Amino acid sequence: MDHDEFIKLVKSCVDTSSPESEDQFKVFRDRCSYVTIKQDAGDDSFVELRKRMESFVEGDEPQNRHFYMALPPNIYVAVSEQLRRNCYSEKGNSQLILEPNWKENEIFRIDHYLGKEMVKNIMTLRFGNPMFGAVWDCTHIDNVQISMTEAIGTEGRGGYFDGVGIIRDVMQNHLMQLLALTTMERPGSFSAEDLRQEKTRVLRLVPPLDVKNTMIGQFVNSADGEQPGYKDDDSVPADSRCATFCACVAYVKNARWEGVPFILKSGKALSESKTEIRIQLKDTTDGMLRETAHNQLIIRIQPDEAIRLKMNAKYPGLELRCVGTELDLSYKRTVPDPDIPEAYESLLLDAFNGDYSESVSEQELEASWRIFTPLLHHLEGHKEIKPAEYAYELIALQGRRVQMA
């Protein structure tokens, strides 16, 4: 790709249907520049990149440089060293932006789920509404389900995915951040230091996952044969044991959450694509009301952002009979034409402004890996453990369980 091809690609992603937007795009276009980097060819490409960045300023004017590395993790270190050697700003700030995972203040670790609108709404929902705060504990909550499912497979990324798996790809990072925001105590403020401190504190209270409370699966071709299975990808080894689905149970060992199971689920090639947090409250006390359903608070993160509260009400008529009903706060229904920024748009703006409140700290990262590393070592070290097979687009694994001896 050269510069002109890059500009065409950028324009294809921007709505320029109006004269005003076309003029705005031209201003943005003139600020874009494309340089091809050959990481394995020494420092020459990085020297060229430095010269291109220097051409954007005049004289000794300070220049802040942010390096967003959308790269395979195995070359993070090499690229970081080359950037430091050749491209760091001498009269400004330099910052690495990584996903998911040297000085700490030079690194902005992106977990793009932290930039999603409904994820940022969790704290407002919890701490801005006393009615939820009063029941946000083990006395009232029976279980919490945090799930992220995709209706697509690996889509040509099988070779890369096989070295990662669903646990590293999604659960250790995205689902752990959702768990931390759901379970942490009220921070002293919304500052980066206070937020990240509380998330780290609660993650350190989560014991390593028990292999006996874990289920793994791998998708095969669909029942009609139209969708390929995971190992039908030529880049995936024929004997691959890589998990494309995982369900496990985590616990938080403190007084607020004692005994409450947090059921974490994620997978590819399932029946639908959605991410949500489902908080199920305990049964009502036996008495005059019969056949009441569980109260549930559902935070739909994507798609169709919404907050729903499932509750019981009296069915209309002379008879005292309960019926399940729902209070629904759907963004599209309550906010006309909501202007919801993309997650990366929000996070990159934070990085440019030096706001670390939605960046993952080193301590959070260490606490999260501590939870999953023993499980990963067990699964990878026991060759006899194989993921259960499930058909592409199957809703569940039909009750099959994996022997985790």
Active site residues: 174
Beta-bridge partners for 163? none
Q: What are phi and psi of 266, to 5 degrees?
A: -155, 145
Amino acid, single-letter form, for residue 341: P
User: Could you give the CA distance from residue 174 to residue 64 in angstroms, rounded to a whole number?
Assistant: 29
Contact 222, 391 (CB under 8 A): yes
Long-range contacts of 327-334 (CB under 8 A, 24+ apart): 330/304, 330/305, 330/306, 331/117, 331/304, 331/305, 331/306, 332/304, 332/305
User: Could you give the CA distance from residue 284 to residue 289 in angstroms, rounded to a whole number?
Assistant: 9
Residue 4 CB partners (closer than 8 Å, separation 6+): none
Half-sphere exposure of 236 (CA within 13 A, CB side): 26
